[in-house]
Structure 1
Amino acid sequence: MRPWLRACVSTMLSVLWASAPARPADGRPPLLLSGEPLTLEEIVEVAQQGRPVELAPAARARVGAAFEAVLAAARAHQPVYGLTTGVGWNKDQDVLSQTGGLDPELLAASRRFNLGTLRAHAAGVGAPLPDDVVRAAMLVRLNLLLTGAGGVQPAVVDQYAAFLNRGITPVVPGRGSVGEADILQSSHIGLALAGEWQVRRAGTLMPAGQALRAAGLQPVELVGKDFLAIIGDNSLTIAQAIPGVRAARAWLEQEITVFALSLEGLNGNVAPFLEVTVAAHPDPGFAAIAGRLRAELAGSDLWNASERRPLQDPLSFRTMPIVLGNAWEALAAAESALLFAANHSGDNPLVLTDSAALATQGTQAGRYVVPGLPNAAIVPTANFEALPFASAIERLSLALAHVSESVTASVLRFENPAITGLPRFLTAPGNPGHGFGAVQKAVVALDSDIRTLALPVSLENATLAGNIEDVTNNGPLAVRRLNDLVEDLYQLASLQLLHAAQAVDLREGFHLGSGTKALHDGYRARVPFVAQDRILTGDIDIGAQYLRGLPRAHTSDPSPSERRHE
C-alpha cells in the first residue's frame, strides 16, 4: 500500500472510531443521518441538546461512490470548477498539472490547493456565532453531504460527525456572507476539520489541533473538491434563521391571545371573526386566526350584547384578525422555505452517480459526464442561490411589521375615553398622576425600529469577483434583521399586555374568555394592577419574559417545522 493511501486509511479508521455515537443520558437513540430530510426539531435536538448522530452505512457508501467520481474526473483532467480549476474569477486557471494520473505529487498539490483556498477565504468579521448555531449548520451540511452531491471523501463526513458527537465546535465569525453561499464564514469550519484555526470544546477556547488530539482525532487531509463542498452552501444562514423563525411562531401564537385580551379591554366587537364573516372571505390565515380568537374568547362578555359597545371598532382592532392571518401565512411560508433550504443541495458543482440520461441531452450536457464512468457526472449549478429563502424571510418580517403597526395603533387608542369609555391614559381611580400617557413613546419607538428592520435588503447589490459574482441576495442580513425584529416584538407585546390587563381590570365585573383569563391571571401574578404611577421598566421586562415562557397553544395542524419537508 502506498504511503499516501495508508495515511488516508489510518485517518479514516481513527475518525470512524472517534465518531461512533454514544446513547445520550436521556435515553434517546442517536439521530440516524442518511441524507433524507430533517425536521427543525431534529436539528435543534442535535444543535442545542447534544443528541448524537450516526451515519447510515448506505449513505456513507454513497459518499464514497461520489468521491470516486471526483477522483476519476481529476485523473482525466476533466475541467471541473474547484477541482481542476480555481474558483471565482480564477475559474480559468488550472490548479492541477495534466499528468494523466493521481500520483502522490498531484494529490499533494490538491491538498495544498484545498488548504490554501480555505485560508484565503477565512475572512469573516464580527463576534463569533453561538455554538448551537454552528452545530446546526454543521448538521445541515453533513446531512446534505451524505447525498453524495458534494463529492467529498468519506473522511470529511466522518469528521463532521465526530465534531458533533465530541462537542468540538469551530469558532465562526458572525458576518461576512452576502447570501451566495456562506463562503468566508464556512471556511473556518473547513480549517477546523483540518486541524487549523480555533474551536470550543466543553466551553473552552483552544486551537483546533489541540482539541483534535484531546478527542483522539486526526486532522482530515482535504483533497479534491472537499474545500468547495464545505464552504459552498448556505447552511450557516439557515442555522441562524432557525431561532428567529421558531421565535416568530412562538410570539405569534401568544399575540393572538394578547390581542383577544386587548379586544376585551376595548369592549370591542366579535363581528370581524364570526364564522359567517370568515365564510364570506375564507383566506386560510384569516380563518385560522379567527378560529383561535373564538376559542380564546369562549365565555367572554364580548359575546353578550352591550349598549356601550360601538357598532364598529378602530381599524387597528377590526382588521387585526386579517393582519394576524397574513403573518400566519407568511410564517408558514418561511418555515417551508427554511426546511427546503436545509434539505436540498446547493452544491456547485453537483456530483451525480446516476446520471446516465445526461449524455442524451446534447453535447454540452454530455461534457459533464465523467470519462470512464458513464453514469457519473459533475455538473455546474447555481443551486446555492438562496433568493427564494431570503424572500420568504423578508415576507415574514414585513408581515410581522404590519402586526406591529396594528398593535401600536391599538395601544394608542387606549388613551382616549371617547373610544374606550375608560379613564384617560387608563389612569386608575384615585391616581392623580399621568397613568400610561408617557409609556406610549416606548410603544412608538419599538414600532419604528420594527418597521425599519422589516425593510427589504435583498435588492442591495454589489458586483464581486471580477464581474463574475454580479448579484447578491443578502439572505444573512435579512435573517439577522428578522431575529432582532422578533426580540422587539416581545417587548411591544408586553406593552400591549400592560394596557390590555389594565383596561379589563378597570371594567369591573367583566367576564373574560377562557384563554384570555388564563393569560390575564398569569400576568397579574407577576405584574400587579397599576393603581398609582410607578416605574414600569421592570414590569415591561417581566411581561416579555412571561410571554416567552408561555407554552405554545395546541393547534389542529402541525407547523411545517414539525413535518419532514419532502
Structure 2
Amino acid sequence: MEQFIAVCREGAQVEFSHDYCRRVDKSRQLVERWVDEEKVMYGVTTGFGALCTKAISKEETAKLQENIILSHSVSLGEPLSIERVRGIMLMILQNLGQGYSGVRLELLEQYRQFLNRGLTPWAPGDGSVGYLSPEAHMALVLIGRGKAYYQGELLPGDQALKKAGLEPITLSSKEGLALVSGTTSATAMAALGLYDFQKAAKSADIVGAMSLEALKGVMNAFDARVMQVRPHADQGDTAENVRRILAGSGIIEKYQGHRVQDALSLRCIPQLHGAAKKTFRDAKETIEIEMNSCCDNPILWPEEGSQDVISACNPDSAYVGMEMDSACIAAVSLAKMSERRNNRIIDESLSGYPSFCIASPGLNSGLMIPQYTQAGLINEMRGLATPATIDNTPTCCNQEDYVAMGYLACKKSGPMAEKLEYVLAIELLSAYQVQQFVDPEVKRSPATQAVLDEIAKHVPVLKQDDFLYPYIVYLKDFIHSGGLIRTVESVTGALK
C-alpha cells in the first residue's frame, strides 16, 4: 500500500525487474503463436461480450484491439483525479505484468513512461459498472488519441506524447482487451480511499482523546482490563492509543473521579473506533491481494505441459467492492461519533463552557454553524454509504447478467474520506477553541499540548466572530497530510 501511495501521490519512479520482463515476454510468445495457429481465444480471435461467437481472422486481430478502445471510451462526467489515474496505470502494470495476459513489454513500457514522466491520461469517471470505459479513455492516449495532462496543461493525446518525448504505439493482438479488463480502476480508487480512511481513524483517536480531556472525561472506559475481557485487537489498540495520548494530563488526573461514566460518544471510543479500524484492516488485506493478482480475462497459462487459454471472470470487482462498501459504512460511523463529541463541547448544558466556545455568545455565534456543516456532511456520507454492490443491472444482451458494481463502491471512498476529514477537523477546531475556557493552571497532556501549539501557529483563539472557513480547511489538511499524527507521535511514539 505504501509503495502504491508513493507512486500515486509522491511521483515515485517505477522500474521493471528482470523477472517482470521475463514473465511478460513468455506469455506474449504464446499469444503470437496461437494467433498464427488461429486458436480460439476470447477477445483475440473472437468478438467481445455478447459478440464472443463472432470469429476474427488473424489479419483482423490488431484492428479488433483498436476498435475496443474506441468503442469503449464512453464514460462521462468529471474526470478522475490525476492521483487516481496514476493509480489505475500502476494497477494495469501490476495486473498485466503477472505474466498471464499476453501483452508486449513495449505496451507496458509506455505506461511506465507515462508514470515516470508525469503524463496523465484524461478519463471521465462516471458510467462504469466495474471496469472498461475509464480504462479505454486512458488507453486512447497510448495510440495518440484522447487527452492527457502534461506539465499542468490538458492537451490532445498526440501533443501530450510529443511534449513528453514519446511516440504513439499500435496495439497488437490481445492488448486492447487487456488494457480495459480487470479490477484495476476499482482497486486503485479503493487503495487511495482506504489509505485515507486508516489515517483518519488514527486521527479520530487523537481528536477524540483531546475532546475527552477538554470535557473532563474519566478514563475507566479505557482500562486495559476492560479490553482484556473483550479481546478485539483494534478495540484494545484504540484504548491504548487514548491512554498514551492523555498520559501526563493534569486535567484527567484532577477530574478522574468526578463522574461514574461519560456519555457514549466518549466512553465508546475504543469499541466504535476499533470496529471501524478492523473493517479498514480487513479491506487492506483484500486490496493488497488484489494489487498483486492477475484480474485479466482470458488468462494465458504459460507453463510447459499445461499451456492453455482460459476464459473466466477474474475481472469481477466483488472483493474490493464489498470491502469498500463496508469501509464507507465504517467511515460514517466514525463521523457520527465525532459530531456528537463536538456537540458536547459547544453545548453549554453538556460541557459547562460558554455556548459555542465564544466568550460573548449572542453578539457572537462562535462555533455554532460548523456543527451544522458536520450535520450536512454526515447526511451526504449516509447517502454515499448505501452499498453499491447490492445493485444489479444486466448488460451486454444478458451475457453479463450479473454485475458486481464494485466500481462505485470504490469510487465513492475518496469523497467519503474527504468528508470524514472535514468532520474531524471541525471537532478538532472545537477542541482547540474550548481551551481558552479550561483552567490554564491545570496542564494538558504533552501530546495534546503539542497539537495545540502546532495549531496555534495557524489558527487564532476566537475572541469574537471570524471567518472560519480557512481554519477548517487548514485543520482538514493537517489531518489529511498526516501532520496531526506526526505531531502526536513525536511525543507518544507510534500509535496503533
- TM-score, normalising length from structure 1? 0.80
Q: What corresponds to 1:101 in structure 2?
A: none
Q: CA deviation at 1:440?
A: 3.1
Counting only pairs closer than 5 Å after superposition, residues 8-87 of structure 1 correspond to structure 2 as 40-87=1-48
Q: Does residue 117 of the first structure (1) align with residue 64 of the second (2)?
A: no
Q: CA deviation at 1:347?
A: 0.9
Question: After superposition, what is the alpha-carbon deviation per residue over 1:12-70, rounded to whole angstroms, capped at 9, x for unaligned?
Answer: xxxxxxxxxxxxxxxxxxxxxxxxxxxx3323333344433332334323222212212
| 248, 260, 266: which one aligns with 2:209 | 260
Q: Is the 8 A contact 2:24 2:103 kept in 1?
A: yes
- Measure, in 1, the Cα distance between the counterparts of 2:387 and 2:39: 42
- TM-score, normalising length from structure 2? 0.91
Greater Cα shift, 204-213 or 449-458:
204-213
**Aligned residues: percent identity?**
26
Counting only pairs closer than 5 Å after superposition, residues 82-101 of structure 1 correspond to structure 2 as 82-96=43-57
- Name the SS for the 1:81 alignment partner: coil
- Measure, in 2, the Cα distance between the counterparts of 1:443 and 1:165: 39
Q: Does residue 409 of the first structure (1) align with residue 409 of the second (2)?
A: no
Q: Is the 8 A contact 2:213 2:252 kept in 1?
A: no
- Measure, in 2, the Cα distance between the counterparts of 1:556 and 1:474: 41
Q: Is the 8 A contact 1:264 1:504 kept in 2?
A: no
Q: Does residue 441 of the first structure (1) align with residue 372 of the second (2)?
A: yes
| 80, 84, 105: which one aligns with 1:129 | 80
The amino acid that maps onto 1:495 is: I
Counting only pairs closer than 5 Å after superposition, residues 380-399 of structure 1 correspond to structure 2 as 380-399=311-330
The amino acid that maps onto 1:448 is: N
The amino acid that maps onto 2:46 is: T
RMSD value, Cα: 2.6
- Measure, in 2, the Cα distance between the counterparts of 1:526 and 1:192: 43
Change (3 A) 1:198 1:421: closer
- Name the SS for the 2:168 alignment partner: coil
The amino acid that maps onto 1:552 is: I
- Measure, in 1, the Cα distance between the counterparts of 2:4 and 2:461: 42
- Measure, in 1, the Cα distance between the counterparts of 2:292 and 2:74: 27
Please, which runs of 5 or more residues in structure 2 have no aligned partner? none
Q: Does residue 220 of the first structure (1) align with residue 169 of the second (2)?
A: yes
Question: After superposition, what is the alpha-carbon deviation per residue over 1:443-471, rounded to whole angstroms, capped at 9, x for unaligned?
Answer: 32222222222221211221100011122
- Name the SS for the 1:200 alignment partner: strand
Q: What corresponds to 1:198 in structure 2?
A: 147
- Measure, in 1, the Cα distance between the counterparts of 2:358 and 2:165: 67
Q: CA deviation at 1:303?
A: 4.2
The amino acid that maps onto 2:485 is: R
| 402, 417, 420: which one aligns with 1:486 | 417
Q: Is the 8 A contact 2:280 2:327 kept in 1?
A: yes
Q: Work out which of the two has the higher radius of gyration on C-alpha atoms and give 1 or 2.
A: 1
- Name the SS for the 1:54 alignment partner: coil
- Measure, in 1, the Cα distance between the counterparts of 2:85 and 2:109: 17
Q: CA deviation at 1:125?
A: 0.9
| 463, 480, 487: which one aligns with 1:548 | 480
Q: CA deviation at 1:307?
A: 8.0
Q: Is the 8 A contact 1:327 1:399 kept in 2?
A: yes
Please, which runs of 5 or more residues in structure 1 have no aligned partner? 1-39, 97-105, 357-373, 560-566
Q: CA deviation at 1:435?
A: 4.5
| 517, 536, 559: which one aligns with 2:449 | 517
Change (3 A) 1:135 1:503: closer
Q: CA deviation at 1:308?
A: 7.5
The amino acid that maps onto 2:14 is: V
Question: After superposition, what is the alpha-carbon deviation per residue over 1:451-509, rounded to whole angstroms, capped at 9, x for unaligned?
Answer: 22222121122110001112223222222322112212222122212322333431213
Question: After superposition, what is the alpha-carbon deviation per residue over 1:166-196, rounded to whole angstroms, capped at 9, x for unaligned?
Answer: 43332222223111xx211111233322233
Q: Is the 8 A contact 1:346 1:383 kept in 2?
A: yes
- Name the SS for the 1:126 alignment partner: strand
Counting only pairs closer than 5 Å after superposition, residues 115-514 of structure 1 correspond to structure 2 as 115-179=66-130, 182-213=131-162, 217-304=166-253, 306=255, 309-354=258-303, 374-428=305-359, 433-508=364-439, 509-514=441-446
- Measure, in 2, the Cα distance between the counterparts of 1:503 and 1:212: 54
Change (3 A) 1:132 1:429: closer
Q: What corresponds to 1:19 in structure 2?
A: none
Change (3 A) 1:198 1:532: closer
- Measure, in 2, the Cα distance between the counterparts of 1:499 and 1:483: 25
- Measure, in 2, the Cα distance between the counterparts of 1:542 and 1:556: 24
How many residues align? The count is 490
- Name the SS for the 2:52 alignment partner: helix
Q: What corresponds to 1:537 in structure 2?
A: 469
Q: CA deviation at 1:83?
A: 1.2
The amino acid that maps onto 2:243 is: R
- Measure, in 1, the Cα distance between the counterparts of 2:261 and 2:206: 21
- Name the SS for the 2:300 alignment partner: strand
Change (3 A) 1:558 1:458: farther
Q: CA deviation at 1:528?
A: 2.9
- Measure, in 1, the Cα distance between the counterparts of 2:245 and 2:366: 28
The amino acid that maps onto 1:126 is: G
Q: Is the 8 A contact 2:354 2:361 kept in 1?
A: no
Q: CA deviation at 1:424?
A: 4.1
- Measure, in 2, the Cα distance between the counterparts of 1:429 and 1:299: 32
- Measure, in 2, the Cα distance between the counterparts of 1:403 and 1:126: 30
Greater Cα shift, 518-527 or 392-401:
518-527
The amino acid that maps onto 1:110 is: T
Greater Cα shift, 550-559 or 60-69:
550-559
- Measure, in 2, the Cα distance between the counterparts of 1:62 and 1:451: 45
The amino acid that maps onto 1:341 is: E
Q: CA deviation at 1:232?
A: 0.5
Q: Is the 8 A contact 2:207 2:427 kept in 1?
A: yes
- Measure, in 2, the Cα distance between the counterparts of 1:468 and 1:48: 38
The amino acid that maps onto 1:492 is: V
Q: Is the 8 A contact 2:297 2:311 kept in 1?
A: yes
- Name the SS for the 1:304 alignment partner: helix
Change (3 A) 1:89 1:507: same
- Measure, in 2, the Cα distance between the counterparts of 1:535 and 1:507: 23
